Amino acid sequence: MPDTIKLDASQPADLEHAAAILRAGNLVAMPTETVYGLAADASNIEAVRRVFEAKQRPVGHPLIVHVADPERIALWVEKVPDTARRLIEKYWPGPLTLLLPKKGDVSDFITGSHPGVAVRMPAHPATLKTMGLLGRDLVAPSANPYGRISPTSAEHVLSGLSGKIEAVLDGGDCSVGIESTILDLTGGKHVIARPGQIAGSDIEDFLGFKLSPNLTSQHAVPGSVKRHYQPVTHTVGLAAHRFSELLPRLVPDGERVGVIWWQSPPGDRASESIRLGATVDEYGRMLYTAMHSMDRANVDRIVIELPPQEPRWSAICDRLARACNEQFHGDLEGSSR
Ligand code: TXA
Ligand code: MG
């Protein structure tokens, strides 16, 4: 394949170009408000198959169908429950993916043979315009090689997938910075399958009833945390309330350590440091960008100052649990993995 080309989301001709590449069954990484997605025409199974190949993603991992107009989910979803209609009205376009009963003819390639299909309307205007030009829906997993950190800029996409995809549409940095909340509404369920910026408590307040607990969540089953969203560099999480005390004890003399912090300045113990914002939204927006930068900063180890393990931080705690090789909440002996 020739080099991956970079298209400019502010140029109408580049959006036409992106749509033409997709129409031909090829791949374009596109900006969304959450993370960049690796997009292919969802109605072209050969194009969908190429997404798995480019990411080196195991077949059987399902993909989210992205639509530019809520009405288009009727092509994919068997029945849209009232709850889903209300949520779509409230949150779309935006970082909420709904898992709904699929239509019989939706390819197992897209659903991974699950009974549901995941649908979402992303909020980035250039991506919505490109989809409008294409007149079709897109599958779009995060545009990173399998198991690595999701990209929040066009540069991140190129560092992982250059030469493996036709183009990246550069629409700037993602404003949310972590993947969408996934709400499973199949089989009468109301379960958060993946936490995100839109919190379960916000959805409960809006709907006026409680969601069911996620019994299979990684949080509920300590020790089963999957390695995913990982930097290449060994990454350690340290609880904020013990950060300043534990950091010097954790890092051997002479080791180059890259510190990602939000409350506790690491001082001269850090060879490199990046400060995250102190609110949930700011921390989330900056986290992957900081991990990408630190991973390229030639350090021996990355140490991340963890946020409190409270419900409003649950999406971030979820991503950090997967990104870190080990986490310390109490003493250095008590690693959580
Ligand atoms: O914010 C996002 O959702 C980003 C942007 C690009 O839209 N996309 C994203 O896609 O994070 P991906 O493929 O990296 O993660 C999608 C998650 C996976 O954990 C997958 O297993 C789950 O959604 N999923 C997708 N379709 C599903 C289905 N039919 N049944 C169960 N889980 C599904
Ligand atoms: Mg992903």
Contacts of 150 (CB under 8 A, 6+ apart): 35, 36, 142, 143, 144, 178, 179, 229, 288
When the pLDDT of each residue in the chain is averaged and rounded to a whole number, the result is 93
Q: Among the atoms of ligand 1, which is closest to the Cα of residue 180?
A: 1
**181 and 315 belong to one structural domain:** no
Q: Is position 221 within any domain?
A: no
Helix segments in the chain, DSSP class H: 12-23, 45-55, 82-91, 108-111, 125-134, 154-161, 200-207, 243-250, 280-295, 314-323
Check pLDDT > 90 for residue 218: no
Distance CA 11, CA 195 (A): 34
Check pLDDT > 70 for residue 297: yes
Q: Among the atoms of ligand 1, which is closest to the Cα of residue 111?
A: 29
- pLDDT tens, 193-215? 999 999 999 999 999 999 998 87
Measured from the alpha carbon of residue 226, the closest ligand is 1
Helix (H) or strand (E) segment spanning residue 98 = strand 96-101
Contacts of 121 (CB under 8 A, 6+ apart): 66, 67, 68, 69, 70, 88, 92, 93, 94, 128
Identify the residues whose C-beta falls under 6 Å from ligand 1: 32, 34-35, 37, 61-64, 97, 99, 111, 114, 116-118, 120, 122, 140-142, 179-180, 182
**107 and 189 belong to one structural domain:** yes
**141 and 74 belong to one structural domain:** yes
Q: Is position 227 within any domain?
A: no
For residue 297, the enclosing domain spans 235-334
Please give the structure tokens belonging to residue 54.
């480019």
**299 and 196 belong to one structural domain:** no
Q: Whose CA is nearest to atom 10 of ligand 1?
A: 141
Residue 154 annotated as part of some ligand binding site: no
Domain count, the chain: 2
List residues bridging with 168 in a β-sheet: 6, 29
- pLDDT tens, 87-146? 999 999 999 999 999 999 999 999 998 999 999 999 999 999 999 999 999 999 999 999
Q: Which amino acid is at 10?
A: S
Q: Is position 55 within any domain?
A: yes
- To test the pocket of ligand 1, the residue of 63, 109, 189, 322 to mutate (highest count of ligand atoms within 8 Å of its CB) is 63
Q: How confident is the model at residue 225 (pLDDT cuts 50, 70, 90)?
A: very low
Task: Please give the model's pTM, rounded to 2 decimal places.
Answer: 0.95
**186 and 48 belong to one structural domain:** yes
Q: Residue 211 to residues 88, 189, 193, 200, 215: CA-CA distances in angstroms?
A: 17, 8, 11, 7, 12
Q: Of all residues in the chain, what percent carry a pLDDT higher than 90?
A: 87
- pLDDT tens, 158-181? 999 999 999 999 999 999 999 999
- pLDDT tens, 14-39? 999 999 999 999 999 999 999 999 99
* CATH number, domain containing residue 129: 3.90.870.10
Q: Is position 214 within any domain?
A: no
**29 and 156 belong to one structural domain:** yes
Q: Is 24 exposed, middle or buried (0-12, 13-18, 19+ CB in 10 A)?
A: exposed
Q: How confident is the model at residue 334 (pLDDT cuts 50, 70, 90)?
A: low
> Taking ligand 2, which is a single-atom ion, which protein residues have CB atoms under 5 Å away?
142
Please state the rounded mean pLDDT for residues 276-298: 97
Question: Residue 252's pLDDT is what?
Answer: 87
Q: Is position 286 within any domain?
A: yes
